[in-house]
């Protein structure tokens, strides 16, 4: 392996140590910026029906999230377009403060849209000038019909992850105390507006199918299109389960601490073992083991051929799972586990130190369960300029693949390293979760092997790598 291209080569545990000790600086280069805290907080809240956001900021922040999340979510999910409002802060508001205007805007939003919930989100401007959004929310709550929450979500105030977590935390204020437990009822937690690269409706649908398959009932998917009423009674569900341990973890921990709602701590249901684990993680606390065992047996039998296909495709291979475009870090680790289950040796490529820092609790959880795959970081992901990074990463991945006689590449078709590859991004390949996911992945893996020798097209080469 060309050492000049490799920034790190070791295990996941070693990488986590290096990031924690500051030996690997968890910083994204200038050209690779995920959304800010405001964007991600909005993303969570946008998954609530009849919620009117009142963004205390300029128009740019507002139209941007409306266009990227609201409109896209509506088109993808087939739900109606609802408003994304703001105070349209201008220079005068920055100089004199805009609390009065904000209060009026909240009242106007209530009169115009009759929402179930109004959430005031602060932006950089209102955050820096010190507008007290919480007090405005408290005042407004007495003057409007809707419930009113405030969220400090200035873009500079935290990383993208803190936006998700703070939004989930704020939502707990809508939840009633846990009184009478709704037997056999589950909250699916950690969802956002969808679709994001990490959250596909088809995967959520499969999760819901698994829950229903064991005879349990779902209260709501928080916040994947849920209602305020579902949030209100979420504290009385018998258990919380996450569509992805990473995203649900914070809300699960907080609801456990505040309301005593147990949280099924399981990874993502990729492959037979993890799917069974996910199902039993929900079934056992609900006392539904028998139904669950029967469901697992039926579903497993139905995908037996596909499981054999996957075993044939993975057995004895080195599986290179490259994550910078997709499937993202946590799915990559879930895929690594699945690859191992099918007899492959997984190598995760380009788990960025930034993402390691942001996901430490989840990574430590996975490590505690013995998931500690080999990890390689290439210099490509640290290259400045997104095109430079992309072209360079292709060369890096091709170089790594050439080191193995039997490599199988799992990731995005943005790369084509010259070995059999499983395209994890094709729209027709979802869900990837659960038993339906096994079926889809078997199809994709088989196609990957069959067409391994096909070259990268001249068109793609020139578009993607500038060759």
Partner 1 sequence: MATERVTNAAAAARCHDPYLRCALYGAAQTALGVRGCCVLSHSPQGCFQLVDAAFGWQDADYTETLTLCTKLCEDEIVHGGEGVLARTILEARELDVRLMFVVTACGPEIVGDDIMAVCQDLQPEVEFPLVPILCAGFRGDQNRGIEIALEAMLEHLVPEEGGFRVPRSVCLVAPHANSNPTWMGDLAWVREVLAAMGATVVATLAHDTAPEDFEKVPMAEGCLVLSHDAGQGAADLLAERYGVEQWCRDLPLPIGFSNTASWLRELGRRLGAEAVAEGMIARGEATVVERCRRKGLEQSPLHRTPAAIVADATVGVPLLRFLAEDLEVVPTLVCLRSGQADAQAMLEREIASLGVSPTVIRDADVYAAKKALGEARPEMVFGSNVERHAVEELGIPFVFRIVNPLSRFRMVDRAYFGYEGMLNLIEVMRNDWLDRYRSRHRRYRARW
Q: Which residues bind partner 1 (CB under 8 A)?
A: 28, 30-31, 33-39, 54, 57-64, 66-68, 71, 74-75, 80-81, 83-91, 93-94, 101, 104-106, 108-109, 112, 123-125, 128-129, 154-160, 384-388, 466
Contact 435, 416 (CB under 8 A): no
Which residue lies nearer to partner 1 by CB, 66 or 363? Answer: 66
Which residue lies nearer to partner 1 by CB, 17 or 467? Answer: 467
Contact 410, 335 (CB under 8 A): yes
Of 361, 308, 324, 2, whose CA–CA distance to 165 is shortest?
361
81 vs 295: CA distance, rounded Å: 38
Kind and range of the H or E element at 450?
helix 434-450
3-state class (DSSP) for residue 418: coil
Which residue lies nearer to partner 1 by CB, 37 or 331? Answer: 37
Which residue lies nearer to partner 1 by CB, 175 or 464? Answer: 464
Of 352, 357, 415, 436, whose CA–CA distance to 8 is shortest?
352
State in angstroms the smallest separation of the CB of 377 from partner 1: 19
157 vs 134: CA distance, rounded Å: 16
Which residue lies nearer to partner 1 by CB, 123 or 231? Answer: 123
State in angstroms the smallest separation of the CB of 231 from partner 1: 23
Which residue lies nearer to partner 1 by CB, 10 or 60? Answer: 60
Which residue lies nearer to partner 1 by CB, 33 or 301? Answer: 33
State in angstroms the smallest separation of the CB of 150 from partner 1: 16
Of 271, 317, 272, 324, whose CA–CA distance to 421 is shortest?
317
DSSP 8-state code for residue 122: E
State in angstroms the smallest separation of the CB of 356 from partner 1: 17
Contact 403, 453 (CB under 8 A): no
Kind and range of the H or E element at 6?
strand 6-11
State in angstroms the smallest separation of the CB of 359 from partner 1: 17
Of 265, 295, 287, whose CA–CA distance to 435 is shortest?
295
Which residue lies nearer to partner 1 by CB, 375 or 383? Answer: 383
366 vs 436: CA distance, rounded Å: 24
Cα 331 → chain centroid: 9
Contact 71, 186 (CB under 8 A): no
3-state class (DSSP) for residue 132: coil
State in angstroms the smallest separation of the CB of 391 from partner 1: 8
């Amino acid at each position: 392996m060309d050492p000049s291209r490799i920034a790190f080569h070791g295990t996941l545990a070693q990488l986590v140590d290096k990031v924690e000790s500051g030996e690997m600086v968890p910083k994204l280069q200038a050209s690779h910026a995920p959304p800010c805290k405001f964007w991600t907080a909005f993303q969570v809240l946008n998954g609530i029906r009849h919620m009117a956001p009142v963004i205390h900021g300029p128009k740019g922040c507002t139209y941007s999230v409306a266009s990227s999340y609201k409109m896209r979510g509506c088109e993808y999910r087939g739900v109606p377009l609802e408003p994304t409002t703001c105070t349209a802060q201008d220079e005068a508001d920055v100089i004199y403060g805009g609390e009065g205007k904000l209060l009026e805007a909240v009242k106007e939003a209530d009169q115009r849209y009759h929402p179930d919930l109004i959430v005031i989100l602060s932006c950089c401007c209102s955050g820096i000038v010190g507008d007290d959004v919480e007090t405005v929310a408290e005042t407004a709550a007495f003057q409007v019909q809707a419930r009113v929450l405030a969220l400090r979500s200035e873009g500079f105030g935290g990383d993208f992850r803190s936006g998700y977590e703070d939004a989930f935390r704020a939502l707990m204020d809508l939840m009633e105390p846990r009184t009478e437990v709704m037997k056999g009822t589950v909250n699916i937690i950690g969802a956002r507006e969808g679709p994001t690269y990490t959250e596909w409706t088809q995967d959520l649908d499969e999760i819901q199918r698994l829950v229903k398959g064991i005879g349990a009932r779902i209260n709501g998917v928080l916040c994947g299109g849920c209602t305020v009423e579902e949030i209100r009674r979420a504290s009385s569900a018998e258990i919380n389960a996450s569509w992805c341990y990473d995203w649900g973890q914070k809300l699960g921990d907080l609801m456990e601490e505040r309301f005593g709602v147990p949280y099924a701590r399981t990874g993502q249901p990729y492959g037979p073992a993890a799917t069974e684990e996910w199902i039993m993680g929900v079934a056992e606390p609900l006392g539904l083991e028998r139904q669950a065992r029967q469901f697992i047996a039926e579903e497993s039998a139905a995908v037996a051929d596909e499981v054999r296909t996957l075993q044939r495709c993975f057995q004895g291979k080195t599986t290179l799972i490259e994550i910078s475009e997709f499937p993202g870090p946590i799915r990559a680790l879930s895929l690594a586990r699945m690859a191992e289950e099918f007899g492959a040796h997984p190598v995760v490529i380009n788990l960025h130190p930034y993402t390691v820092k942001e996901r430490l609790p989840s990574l430590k959880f996975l490590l505690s369960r013995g998931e500690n795959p080999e990890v390689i970081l290439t210099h490509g992901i640290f290259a400045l300029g997104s095109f430079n990074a992309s072209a360079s990463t292709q060369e890096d991945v091709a170089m790594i693949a050439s080191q193995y006689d039997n490599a199988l590449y799992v990731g995005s078709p943005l790369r084509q390293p010259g070995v059999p590859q499983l395209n994890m991004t094709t729209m027709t390949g979802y869900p990837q979760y659960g038993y339906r996911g096994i079926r889809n992945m078997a199809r994709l893996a088989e196609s990957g092997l069959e067409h391994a020798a096909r070259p990268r097209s001249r068109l793609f080469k020139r578009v993607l790598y500038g060759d």
